[in-house]
């Protein structure tokens, strides 16, 4: 029996520390244990998209409320007041603009709390600055293992939870770092 355990297993049924050898035993070293790095160690950099343009989050909310209200009024006339001559094909348009309005309101509310949210595609992030302005940024870092460039990506299964990971350009499978957005320096104007 190659996997025989030769250690003493007796004890008083309290906490027993087995003294013995573990020849043939499988020792699992967890590969998920990762060292943590500070944003300074990673040389995290923000790269503004849209030429650094920003929006006041209050204006986004106001835009959302006004558009939402207008869409609802339009929807009401298109659906229930056919005598007014509003074509029913407009219904789809009003429903769409209502959706956009709700998204604008929800997004600015969520961002005020989280300050950081994945936005478009797999590498653009919506951030809110100290004075409440919305910006779209890409984030890069320097790989602490090999020094290559890393890109922040929103990755994961289609239906499952997704992570925001810095992926190394040279070894994107093993050199990954999970971002804690609260560790990022505040976004100045
Ligand atoms: Zn690397």
Specify whether the CB–CB gap between 130 and 123 falls below 8 A. no
- pLDDT tens, position by position, 127-181: 999 899 999 999 999 999 999 999 999 998 888 888 899 999 999 999 999 999 9
pLDDT at 31: 52
Domain residue ranges of the chain, discontinuous segments joined by +: 39-183
Q: What band does 24 get if pLDDT is binned at 50, 70 and 90?
A: low
Distance CA 130, CA 54 (A): 13
Q: Does residue 26 surpass a pLDDT of 60?
A: no
Ligand 1 centre from 149 Cα, in Å? 8
Ligand 1 centre from 21 Cα, in Å? 37
DSSP string, 126-150: EEE-TTSEEEEEEEEEE-TTT--EE
* DSSP H stretches of helix in the chain: 39-42, 57-80, 90-114
Of 72 and 52, more confident: 72
Ligand 1 centre from 30 Cα, in Å? 20
Ligand 1 centre from 148 Cα, in Å? 5
pLDDT at 145: 94
Ligand 1 centre from 48 Cα, in Å? 24
Ligand 1 centre from 173 Cα, in Å? 9
- 66 backbone dihedrals φ, ψ, rounded to 5°: -65, -45
């Amino acid at each position: 029996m190659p996997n025989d355990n030769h250690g003493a297993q007796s004890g008083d049924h309290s906490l027993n520390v087995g003294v013995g050898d573990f020849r043939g035993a499988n020792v699992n070293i967890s590969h998920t244990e990762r060292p943590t790095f500070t944003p300074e160690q990673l040389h995290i950099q923000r790269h503004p998209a849209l030429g650094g343009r920003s929006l006041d989050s209050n204006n986004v909310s106001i835009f959302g409320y006004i558009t939402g209200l207008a869409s609802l009024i339009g929807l009401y006339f298109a659906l229930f007041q056919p005598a007014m001559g509003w074509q029913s094909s407009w219904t789809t348009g009003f429903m769409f603009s209502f959706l956009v309005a709700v998204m604008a309101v929800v997004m600015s509310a969520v961002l005020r709390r989280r300050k950081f949210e994945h936005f478009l595609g797999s590498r653009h992030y919506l951030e809110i600055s100290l004075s409440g302005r919305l910006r779209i940024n890409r984030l890069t870092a320097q790989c602490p293992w090999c020094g290559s460039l890393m890109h922040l990506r929103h990755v994961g299964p289609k239906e499952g939870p997704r992570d925001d990971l810095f992926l190394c350009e040279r070894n994107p499978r093993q050199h990954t770092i999970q971002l804690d957005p609260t560790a990022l320096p505040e976004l100045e104007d």
